[in-house]
Amino acid sequence: MKTQLSLFKIKKKYLFNFFENYTKKELIEFAIKMIETELYCYPSLGLVSFKDSGCHLDMNFKTFLKSKNTFYLFFYKIFDLAKNKKNLNFEKLRNISINQEKRMFKITKNINTHKGLIFSFGIIFYIASYSLINKISFYSWSELIKNFVKPLEKDFLLFNNKTKGEQIFNKYNIKGARGEALNGYKNVFNKGIPFIKKCLKKYPNLKKKDIYLCLLIFYLKKIDDTTLISKIGYTKTKKIKKKAKILINNLITKNFYFFKKKIMIKNEYFKKEKISPGGCADLCVITLFLFFLYSFDHN
């Protein structure tokens, strides 16, 4: 499909032959570029971007760039774990992720820029690396993730209602980022990727940052973002989801520029009300990365 080729330079058809065309370094660069895409997306709906800090007072574009650069070592360590171990190792990945969190907090002076993304992209990059090395079909990845992250179920038993995430789980039974992982990221594989395909069919010239924006509204409509709930409450979050549904309808029935214009109006509201859909943003990044790999296998 020509549109996908303009987004990603794909040299050969089959995912199984990925490393005949690309190196470990290039795979990591692709992953980093997906993280960068978030920063160059505007309007950003309260998130940090190249234009402003959104609704955040404690971080800005430069903070995020510093934080992003720590992911190089993170991804290298994950790839080496995937390459050097025959079996997937949950505890080793968790330790690598804990060390990455420490690097992030050190470089940002204790500001949480990417903690959620470290969790989700750590899992996705590990499964992707392991699967590409061992030639496991893309269509098996969701189930592979589901089985791999089963130890996360124990986390819920240890909750003591101290953090906002724990309180949201206890009150609404919303599992947040852990729940997405335990479900094999089905919202990404079965909903997000097909949504990108649908967008590209209607709007063939969309850039990565435009696709990211479409995805951001899509996930805002689709998921219960615990980051959002912790900031504005469950009732307000439900109202935001309804507004996102209207925006997606505008994207489908009208045109992209009308859609973007409406988001520009909402953007000011998000900044003013201190709304920042961090959970949705993390899903956008990993969806773009997985779509790149999906595109590699479908051209």
Rounded Cα–Cα distance for residues 56 and 70 (Å): 21
The predicted model scores a pTM of 0.93
Nearest to 149 by CA among 94, 190, 101, 192: 94
Rounded Cα–Cα distance for residues 44 and 213 (Å): 8
Nearest to 291 by CA among 15, 69, 47: 15
H-run or E-run covering 237 = helix 234-253
How long a stretch of residues is the chain?
A: 299
Tokens (6 digits) for 133: 């090395």
Tokens (6 digits) for 201: 């069919």
Cβ contacts of 295 within 8 Å, gap of 6 or more: 1, 4, 5, 7, 8, 10
Per-residue pLDDT of the chain (299 residues; tens, 9 = 90+): 333 433 444 444 456 678 888 899 999 999 999 999 999 999 999 999 999 999 999 999 999 999 999 999 999 999 999 999 999 999 999 999 999 999 999 999 999 999 999 999 999 999 999 999 998 989 999 999 999 999 999 999 999 998 899 999 999 999 999 999 999 999 999 999 999 999 999 999 999 999 999 999 999 999 999 999 998 999 999 999 999 999 999 999 999 999 999 999 999 989 988 889 999 999 999 999 999 998 876 65
Domain boundaries, the chain: 2-297
